[in-house]
Every structure is written in structure tokens, then in C-alpha cells.
Amino acid sequence: MSDREPTVINAGGGSGGWAVAAILLIVIIAGGLILFEGGYLGTRNVDIDVSLPKVEVPQPVTK
């Protein structure tokens, strides 16, 4: 048996995880916008009828 120390190999890198996270975030945002704008999430068409009361114009006072 040999008395050698353990060898640590560092391959560098480390920016690949950020690229995957950025692409995943873009896909999630785009998918959410497609679902929201397509009417699948949240937005429902609600028709509201607002009728204002008829206001009569006052007649001028004659003397």
C-alpha cells in the first residue's frame, strides 16, 4: 500500500446552473403569459350594465 494523500480535482465551470435557471425562468414567464392572456387564468369576461338615472334640466324661472 502506498501512503498517498487524497487528490482533489476541480473541473472549474459553475456557470451552467445559472444558464439553466435563466432558461427555466423565461419558459415559466412565457407560459404564464400565454395562459393568462388566453383567458385560462383569472380573467373572466363580466358584463356590467350601468344605467344612469335620467336627469331633467331645470326650467328657467320667468317673471
Q: What does the alpha-carbon distance between residue 21 and residue 1 come to, in Å, rounded to a whole number?
A: 45
The reported pLDDT for the residue numbered 61 is 84
pLDDT in tens, 7-27: 888 777 666 788 889 999 999
- What H or E segment, with its residue span, contains residue 23? helix 16-37
Q: What does the alpha-carbon distance between residue 34 and residue 26 come to, in Å, rounded to a whole number?
A: 12
User: 42 or 27: which carries more pLDDT confidence?
Assistant: 27
Coil/strand/helix, residue 11? coil
| pTM tops 0.95, yes or no | no
All 3 cell numbers of residue 38?
388566453
